[in-house]
Structure 1
Amino acid sequence: MRNNRAMTVVPHRIAVLALDCVVGLDLGTPSQVFGTARDDDRAALYAVEVCTPGGRPVRSTAGFQVLPEHGLELTGTADTVIVPGIHDGPPMVDGTVDPDVTAALRAAHERGARIMSICTGAFVLAAAGLLDGRRATTHWAYADRFRRLHPAVDLDPDVLFVDSDGVLTSAGVAAGIDLCLHVIRTDHGSTVANRSARRCVVPPWRDGGQAQYIERPVPRATATGTAATREWARQRLHEPVALRDLAAHARMSVRTFTRHFRSETGLSPAQWLLQQRTDHARLLLETTDLTVDQVARHAGFGTAAALRQHFHHRLGVPPTTYRHTFRPHPH
């Protein structure tokens, strides 16, 4: 928040709660991403610190120990508490967590702090009872184990993150970056979040969900793949491209093509094509002076009305608002 009298920024305080066997990348994600969030005067908008139970060192999965400067008392004053993923320990094995950790997380939640998890950190939030009855996510590879340990949680393993009324969970590893950028966007708007994303050299947001990344058997022969057809379709986004056209290019029946396509991309051909057209429209809005009507035609939406309707449904903003976010008018 900004103190109007002193005109100084009071950073939003974030406590990263590291437990034993913490995932190294997950641990570093909050400080890296939130650390890039600055206002127009380059003042830091967040202050990120790490704590552990009792302020004791904990092991990471990356071969180093975490030497924190704080114990659980840090969660008592933080505006946001983030639990990074872990790869072992009671939360992953039997669905329990240290009672002191449970008490700290519940107390933070009850006083209104935002609670977040990255990857398998959701196991910790669930063990503390903070996810019962809520929609949540975690790494797709641990979905079955999570459901077995926490049947009261509405688990959705197909999304990158879930924001459920002050309790936020994210999917595996890099999805923690998506979640942190979502929080910055919620707190300070798209301009600040996009600036942070560019500083981190990542996209401001990613379409789709974890289904794109779930391990699947690789097709035996490259001849049965759809990569060449996908590239062919990308070159024709401005043209009507039907499912039968895609299948014909791949020299497959529609049914066989659809099966192969979904196994390789995690999406149906129609969903994928819509995603590609949306991405192309976004690029044109960001980098050209084409009118919305022209963007709609170049991206294959046909009319400006269709583009506006799709942008509202998929991104929550009209094309003109999106363009102004990425290409703000000079002051």
Structure 2
Amino acid sequence: MLIARLGAAAPRLALRHALPRFRPPGPACRPSSIPTHGAAPTPAAAAAARNSPGTAWRSMHQHRRQGGGGSGGQHYHPPPPPRPSPMVPTSRLVARAVVLGVAGANVAVYYWWWLARREGPHNSPWSTRWSRTTEKLDWMRENFVLSAENVLQGRWWTLLTSAFSHYDTVHLAVNMMVFHFSATMALELGFGAARLAFLSLGSALTASAASLLHDQTTAHQGPVSGALGASGMVEGIMAAVACTAPRRWVYLLLPPVPVPLGVMCFGFLGWDLYRLYRARTEGPTENWMGNFVGYAAHLGGAFFGVSYWFLRIRPAFKGVRFF
């Protein structure tokens, strides 16, 4: 029985003695980069472990699993891309071209008015030169004066050309000075040349429509037969600029005191609204220059400027604060 048991275990004992026994290498043959159990790693081994690609990969994914290192985070969310700036940088050359282009068009139309009327008072009504002067003035009235007659006769372009037309020198100078101020500030705020052009044309057309609506619905027509001037377009640009930067300080002309831009602009609009109410109830009256002011055109241009700011400029400039 004992012999049988030894015989059964003999193959296993023979196999155990036949296989070489594994022994860990001694300190003499162990590489210096592999730390032993219970021994501190060498500085070279620690640096190699920190800089290895596997260590960087494991630390990055552990950071992502932990939600960026914050408490309670479970997923990694990369930061959103930076929001593009809504402000359109305009070079000084382009800004000058836009402002001087509009001002130059107004000056050119004023010069045509001057050429058309300069010979009239010096000619007799029955002379040939008087007839030519009358023809020039009639042509200017048909193409550069806003009136219901011109629009009904198919001269629809007067809705826009009348905004570039000035018959009086003081009227031209005041409008161009305010236009230069408003347009330059709009470009400085980042409106861009395209936005400024659209704002100018839209304000001019809306001002013309408001003027025609006022003339056709008022009970006191008075001697006003047509309208011209860039006041409505200027009011639209100024209203959009004032809504964008209402707390920017500007100087009045008379008196020269500093006021916030929003207070100045909407103060003028309040005055226009009051004068329009007086004109509709008591009839139009002349201003200090002997002209009739189109208060409805002023308010129409400002309405387009505020609407364009609310629908287009305000969403684009959301989060941008101007002072």
Q: TM bucket by the smaller chain?
A: under 0.3
Structure with more relative contact order (C-alpha pairs < 8 Å, separation 6 or more): 2
Looking at secondary structure, tell me which structure has more helix per residue.
2
Looking at secondary structure, tell me which structure has more strand per residue.
1
Which protein has the larger Cα radius of gyration, Structure 1 or Structure 2? 2
TM-score (normalised: structure 2): 0.24
